[in-house]
Amino acid sequence: PERGMPGAGRGMRGPGRGVRVAALAALLCALRAGGTELTFELPDSRKQCFHQELERGLKFSLDYQVIAGGHYDVDCYVEDPTGRTIYKETKKQYDSFPHRTEVQGVYTFCFSNEFSTFSHKTVYFDFQVGDEPPILPDMGNRVTALTQMESACVNIHEVLKMVIDSQTHYRLREAQDRSRAEDLNSRVSYWSMGETLILFVVSIGQVMLLKSFFTEKRPGSGSAGT
């Protein structure tokens, strides 16, 4: 907007830019809610566990997806500090588990590939902790309507969340498709090498067979003596 009005009032440009910078900083801080995002290798017949200490009454969510390996499935379970299993799924490709803690302590979530004996997996998970902070101060307690600037900040925040979710989704799809393409390429390469070897063996066999048809048979030494 400032490029379209080069002659507009210069006195308003500095404060306006400061408001926009502050609003953008608030949006970025709101988008950086506490959490962990990780992609790791899970070998065959192995299990990988992660631990997180949480307060009571705290909300968390676990999203995971298998992006490479085998049939793209994995076992997952979550235990609370008392050892009680609050979530368990077997051979899932992806899933989401939201929960609000009832006791304080260390929560454990594990991914298991123990049912597979020869294929390792690549697993992505996103572990988010805590409620999303309000974008604007006292937003939940105010009784007046939002101003145009505040409404724009809320809309931008929602759009940025959608953009982040879409980027994560397409990044996982791209990684999964790339893994499948590489696996298919390796299979095609091995199949081509096998066909080449078979054709080479068959060609040599045919040459030797045809050569045996036209080879002159010499009489034995016994028949020559008589």
Structure confidence by residue, pLDDT tens digits, 155-175: 887 888 788 878 877 877 787
CA end-to-end distance (rounded Å), the chain: 116
Asked if the model's pLDDT at residue 11 lies above 50, the reply is no
Cross-strand pairs, 94: 65
Distance (Å) of CA 104 to CA 52, 57, 81, 100, 107: 11, 8, 7, 11, 9
Structure confidence by residue, pLDDT tens digits, 18-37: 434 344 444 344 444 467 88
pLDDT computed for residue 99 by the predictor: 93
User: What is the overall mean pLDDT for the chain?
Assistant: 77
Structure confidence by residue, pLDDT tens digits, 27-82: 344 444 467 888 899 998 999 999 999 999 999 999 998 988 888 899 999 999 99
As given in the structure block, the two tokens for residue 61 are 């969510």
Domain segments of the chain as ranges: 33-133, 144-195
pTM above 0.75, yes or no: no
Q: CATH assignment of 33-133?
A: 2.60.120.380
DSSP of 50-88, one letter per residue? EEEEE-TT-EEEEEEEEEESTTS-EEEEEE-TTS-EEEE
